[in-house]
Amino acid sequence: MEQREIIDRDTYKKIKKMNREELTNFILKYGDELLGDQGKTIDLPALEAELSKIKGIGGKRLEEIMTVVEKFLDVE
């Protein structure tokens, strides 16, 4: 297994000096950057359109499904 450098030495030194609050903020920011690099998004209207094509899923059931999907994606 190839070992790759995730955090450079300067960042490592900064992390060692951080308190809990600073570290939490750093981790959240770093995580957001990683997720942003993936570039994956969900087009909810397109998802709804595709789900509506499934036999047996009517308008009311589709509404319920979309409500659950939006809940898990934290969409308001």
Number of separate helices (H) and strands (E) present in the chain? 4, 0
Residue labelled with tokens 């995580």: 31
The confidence score (pLDDT) of residue 76 equals: 59
The structural domains of the chain, with segments of one domain joined by +, span 9-38, 41-76
The confidence score (pLDDT) of residue 49 equals: 92
Mean pLDDT of 58-69: 90
pLDDT tens for 11-54 read 889 989 989 988 888 888 877 776 665 656 778 899 899 999 98
Indicate the pLDDT class of residue 75, thresholds 50, 70 and 90.
low
Indicate the pLDDT class of residue 72, thresholds 50, 70 and 90.
confident
